[in-house]
Structure 1
Amino acid sequence: MDYDVIIIGGSFAGLSAAMQLARARRRVLIVDTGTPRNRFSASSHGFPGQDGRQPAAILATLRSELAAYPTVDFREEQSEAAVREGARFRISLAGSTEKTGRRIILAYGVRDSLPDLPGLSERWGVSVLHCPYCHGYELNNQPIGVLARDGIAQHQAMLLPDWGPTTLFTQRSFNPDPKQAENLAARGVKIENVPVAKLLGPGPSLEAVQLVDGRRIPLNALFLAPQTSPSCDLAEQLNCATKPGPTGLYLDVDETQATSIPGVFAAGDVASPMPNATLAAAAGVIAGGAAHRSLIFDPDLTLGA
């Protein structure tokens, strides 16, 4: 079947985009692997109207709402290849299935690359975190830490005292300059230059970190900025332009979420330097509406070509 729009990625951005197109009675295919980035978190916070709900429950509600629209199809598969053929795109799915669409919305998100520390990966999304706005309130002013990878740690450490007493672990990868050290001290942040060796406590909760010199520092949570990379390489196959962000490359989009390739739009973490569920949903709304307008005003993909 030839679709108006194929959406790669079925989390907040992809489903929000699909809703706009479904309400315009356009044929939409959502292709998703069922492994959203937030699957490790027990609850989502800061999302208006959804605060405290499980991410999986929010997605299930969105999918249920979309299922009421007869022009929307779902496939839980990996998208393996994408190519433009004239005014259409051909998407190859796992199992040698192929689908064609007049527009594509890339909403497949990113993967996190975490530091190689014993006890860290199994706590990701529970007591090892990246966003205080999403998770800080529930820490109840207990001791928290920042694990440095680079200068982003300075920014995190300056924010975090609003959520609890904060220690910055420099890990020998970030050395605050005198002004930064002064600002951190003014916020009450302790600086620990001896590296963290491992995380302690019955996972996925955290009780303390052990340093390489054997000392233990009690912590309720550890924040870090992971390195990120796209969850698949479809944008690269389509030659979409990228921009450098604080944790990795992301897709370069304009105010309508259009990429550098006509007919290809992108939304969510793969197209933003700031991961956030609300922003992802909003970007999906923009991308869905823009893809619909593109079908009307540029049916043959001649603009911007």
Structure 2
Amino acid sequence: MMKEVEIYDVIIIGGSYAGLSAALALGRSLRNVLIIDSGIPCNRQTPYSHNFLTQDGKTPLEIATIGKEQVAQYETVQFHEDQVIKVKLLPEGFEVITAGGNNFKARKLIFATGVKDILPDIKGFAACWGISVIHCPYCHGYEFRHKKTGIIARGDRALHLASLVNNLTDQLSILTVGEADFKGEQLDKLGRNHIDVIETEIAEIIHDAGQVKEVIFKDGTSQRFDAIYAAVPFVQHALIPNKLGCELTEQGHIKVDNFQKTTIPGIYACGDNSTMMRSVASAVSTGNIAGAIANMELTLERF
């Protein structure tokens, strides 16, 4: 049963890796913390997590479960499964209103709400996303080393991904899904590294339980692939920070300083919502910083 307090020191919105890491730092400082989470993580389809020391190869659920069990040992940290729909600014902090009709107050807020990927309308893409259609060579690339690999991207983003993936496989093609927009020197680099550029639009990705087998193009041709990287656009999973006045970067992340502080005093952001470094390790790191800095500011206000 959740133990409510009149006003929490910190409410953390989002209870995945970044939110749990922030709560751990705060719980160890005896701060009254409430984590509000919907229980639907964005990486729920990803079979394994990699490139996080001590947890390499574990499932995302395993890592999150261990994290929650460890955080729950701190008696001043409480959990509430719900969705935040509104936040009000108060003289003493913030009021958080949830879809379940609950109201909570806090002196500080930490948004660990992640981002939402906007997937292309290609049949089979969504079923493979996070499994064999992937976003990050560091998180997934080693498992597809020396495999027939595609990159769905254009321009500078495609070249950046190609330069990284080229070290993992020599069977690499860029699928621009339309006319390529590479400059002359970029085409030279691709040619020197024997990277094909395919401009034909994609009709469908053939797969077996999320494992890519073949790409069917709209002209009726096809090619076998084992993995595909995709640079997809995203939006903030929660629009509330921006509504409160938190600035966004040109790329669409919540703007934070080196201490995870947003442009609104008393509000912090951590994890995927505020960095291009989208990984479990980065989420844990930025969450730890956000929790520590929130605690420091609470301390300075009352000491």
Say whether the 8 Å CA contact 2:117–2:235 is kept in structure 1.
Answer: yes
Cα 1:13/1:46, change in 2 over 3 Å = same
Residue of structure 1 in register with 2:51 after alignment: 46
Residue of structure 1 in register with 2:298 after alignment: 295
Say whether the 8 Å CA contact 1:8–1:104 is kept in structure 2.
Answer: yes
Shift of 1:228: 0.8
> Which sections of structure 1, spanning at least 5 residues, go unmatched?
301-305
Q: Deviations over 1:66-93 (max 9, x none)?
A: 1111001001110111111012110001
Moved more, 51-60 or 171-180: 171-180
Shift of 1:274: 2.3
Shift of 1:174: 3.7
Shift of 1:186: 2.0
SS at match of 1:15: helix
- The yes-or-no answer on 1:14 pairing with 2:19 is yes
Say whether the 8 Å CA contact 2:95–2:104 is kept in structure 1.
Answer: yes
SS at match of 1:36: coil
- Root mean square deviation, CA, Å: 1.4
Residue of structure 2 in register with 1:185 after alignment: 191
Residue of structure 1 in register with 2:105 after alignment: 100
Residue of structure 2 in register with 1:303 after alignment: none
Quote the Cα distance in structure 2 between the aligned partners of 1:173 and 1:110. Answer: 29
Cα 1:227/1:299, change in 2 over 3 Å = farther
SS at match of 1:40: coil
Amino acid of the structure 2 residue aligned with 1:276: S
- The yes-or-no answer on 1:82 pairing with 2:96 is no
| Runs of 4 or more consecutive aligned structure 1 residues displaced over 2 Å after TM superposition | none
Say whether the 8 Å CA contact 1:148–1:173 is kept in structure 2.
Answer: no
TM-score w.r.t. length of structure 2: 0.95
> Which sections of structure 2, spanning at least 5 residues, go unmatched?
none
Shift of 1:50: 0.4
Residue of structure 1 in register with 2:212 after alignment: 206
Residue of structure 2 in register with 1:273 after alignment: 276
Identity percentage of aligned residues: 35
SS at match of 1:201: strand
Quote the Cα distance in structure 2 between the aligned partners of 1:173 and 1:135. Answer: 28
- The yes-or-no answer on 1:68 pairing with 2:76 is no
SS at match of 2:166: helix
Say whether the 8 Å CA contact 1:158–1:187 is kept in structure 2.
Answer: no
Amino acid of the structure 1 residue aligned with 2:265: P
Shift of 1:149: 4.9
Quote the Cα distance in structure 1 between the aligned partners of 2:180 and 2:42. Answer: 27
Quote the Cα distance in structure 2 between the aligned partners of 1:291 and 1:22. Answer: 12
SS at match of 2:249: strand
Shift of 1:251: 0.7
Amino acid of the structure 2 residue aligned with 1:273: M
- 5 Å-filtered alignment, 1:134-213, equals 134-164=139-169, 165-172=171-178, 174-213=180-219
Q: Deviations over 1:66-122 (max 9, x none)?
A: 111100100111011111101211000112100000100000100000111111111
Between Structure 1 and Structure 2, how many residues are aligned? Answer: 297
Moved more, 250-259 or 196-205: 196-205
Amino acid of the structure 2 residue aligned with 1:134: C
- 5 Å-filtered alignment, 1:225-236, equals 225-236=231-242
Residue of structure 2 in register with 1:221 after alignment: 227
